[in-house]
């Protein structure tokens, strides 16, 4: 028998050249009727309704209904939706035990992600193909998320869990669970508006994470948990907490100019400044700036707003020509600080509001669903020789 040598392995043909867009900047990933943004004009709409209109006239419950079911509810539908949310706020005692087992040094966002993932284990009726299961899951996730955040915050600071009330609004009940006292109606309304402003914002990193997970037909608790994970990063939801640390570090309005000019000179990121989409001031930041002034006027002086406004002034002088302005994170922390809320809760409050938007995208993704499977541009080698371990360098 004649000896035959194996032919050398074929080198793969080079793949067709594909355009590479870092961060998928501007690349459409879905068709959606949930949210519209015009970054040049500073327009943000939920289902066609301007964010300024919703902030002035709507409630978080009504806005959540609008996002989920594509229309503003009539009185009967809104009353039922509000009752369903209120009656589903409490959580199983084992979830409270789970929170007690988490380290006090953890971040509330980590606790929220873990407990939301665990929450779904208690509810077998989470079939994504059944409309009644989708409704029940959406209600539970929106209603219970604030309870989980408030419970972990109190437990991690050595205090007892406060069960929710059913006779308060979503925002007012959250504040009640943090303190054990019914909040001032004006403060509760500011919290309500903040929830509205953070409820949805098109195809950002966390929403994209939610839709990718949803495309696998994973249950909604897993979908929301994955989105929370994406929101934790300082380039996304975590920026609001960093803004407060920056403003507190500046300390006085007179020190804002040298501080910011130094960051600009060194080409360092200014937290809360700039946005991937907006080329004008974020419309949510405009509303939040007014809310901050209202809270400070009501609850007493707070230097952070004055410092923030001075920072904005310096930024406008140096970066206005580049169309770089404050985003939603810049003033949200100032509002929360004026309300007496700690920085550790800023991003979790963003998350519990955004759950309504994530769930709206989850429901939309299920319509004509196709699993996400993007391509890549391979930059590695081929046909590397396999060397015995003794011969490797």
Q: Is 318 exposed, middle or buried (0-12, 13-18, 19+ CB in 10 A)?
A: middle
> Does an H or E element contain 38, and which?
strand 35-38
Active-site entry in 198, 275, 282, 361:
275
Distance CA 123, CA 108 (A): 23
According to DSSP, the β-strands at 35-38 and 49-50 are: unpaired
What is the separation of C-alpha 288 from the centre of its chain, rounded to a whole number of angstroms?
Answer: 16
Residues with Cβ within 8 Å of 61's Cβ and at least 6 positions away in sequence, in order, are: 78, 81, 82, 85, 169, 170
Take residue 116 and report the two structure tokens written for it: 């939301």
Identify whether 275 is a catalytic site residue.
yes
Residues with Cβ within 8 Å of 298's Cβ and at least 6 positions away in sequence, in order, are: 184, 186, 187
> Does an H or E element contain 44, and which?
strand 43-46
Distance CA 202, CA 278 (A): 13
Active-site entry in 170, 192, 329, 361:
329
Phi, psi of 35 (to 5 degrees): -140, 140
Distance CA 149, CA 168 (A): 17
Cβ contact 169:61 at 8 Å? yes
> Does an H or E element contain 27, and which?
none
**Residue 11, Cβ neighbours under 10 Å: how many?**
8
**Measuring CA to CA, which residue among 358, 376, 302, 307 is closest to residue 68?**
358
Identify whether 382 is a catalytic site residue.
no
Distance CA 108, CA 116 (A): 12
- Tell me the catalytic residues: 275, 329
């Amino acid at each position: 028998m004649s000896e035959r040598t194996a032919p050398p392995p074929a080198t793969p043909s080079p793949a067709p050249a594909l355009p590479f867009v870092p961060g998928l900047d501007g690349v459409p990933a879905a068709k959606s009727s949930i949210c519209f943004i015009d970054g040049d004009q500073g327009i943000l709409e939920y289902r066609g309704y301007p964010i300024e209109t919703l902030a002035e006239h709507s409630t978080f419950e009504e806005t959540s209904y609008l996002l989920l079911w594509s229309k503003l509810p009539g009185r009967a539908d809104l009353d039922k939706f509000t009752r369903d949310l209120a009656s589903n706020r409490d959580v199983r005692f084992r979830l409270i035990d789970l929170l007690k087992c988490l380290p006090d040094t953890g971040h509330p966002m980590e606790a929220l992600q873990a407990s939301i993932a665990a929450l779904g284990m208690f509810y077998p009726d989470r079939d994504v193909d059944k409309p009644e299961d989708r409704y029940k899951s959406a209600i539970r996730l929106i209603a219970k998320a604030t309870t989980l955040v408030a419970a972990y915050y109190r437990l991690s600071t050595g205090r007892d869990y406060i069960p929710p009330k059913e006779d308060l609004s979503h925002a007012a009940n959250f504040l009640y669970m943090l303190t054990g006292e019914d909040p001032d109606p004006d403060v509760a309304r500011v919290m309500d508006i903040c929830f509205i402003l953070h409820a949805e914002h098109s195809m950002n990193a966390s929403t994209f994470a939610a839709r990718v997970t949803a495309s696998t037909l994973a249950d909604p608790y897993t979908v929301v948990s994955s989105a929370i994970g994406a929101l934790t990063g300082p380039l996304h939801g975590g920026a609001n907490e960093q803004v407060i640390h920056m403003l507190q570090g500046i300390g006085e309005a007179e020190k804002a100019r040298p501080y910011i000019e130094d960051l600009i000179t060194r080409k360092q990121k200014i937290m809360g400044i700039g946005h991937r989409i907006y080329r004008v001031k974020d419309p949510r930041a405009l509303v939040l700036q007014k809310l901050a002034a209202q809270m400070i006027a009501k609850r007493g002086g707070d230097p952070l707003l004055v410092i923030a406004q001075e920072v904005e002034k310096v930024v406008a002088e140096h970066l206005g020509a580049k169309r770089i302005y404050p985003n939603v994170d810049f003033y949200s922390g100032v509002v929360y600080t004026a309300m007496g809320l700690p920085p550790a809760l800023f991003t979790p409050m963003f998350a519990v509001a955004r759950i309504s938007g994530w769930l709206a995208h989850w429901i939309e993704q299920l319509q004509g669903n196709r699993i996400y499977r993007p391509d890549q541009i391979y930059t590695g080698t081929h046909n590397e020789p396999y060397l015995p371990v003794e011969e490797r360098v």
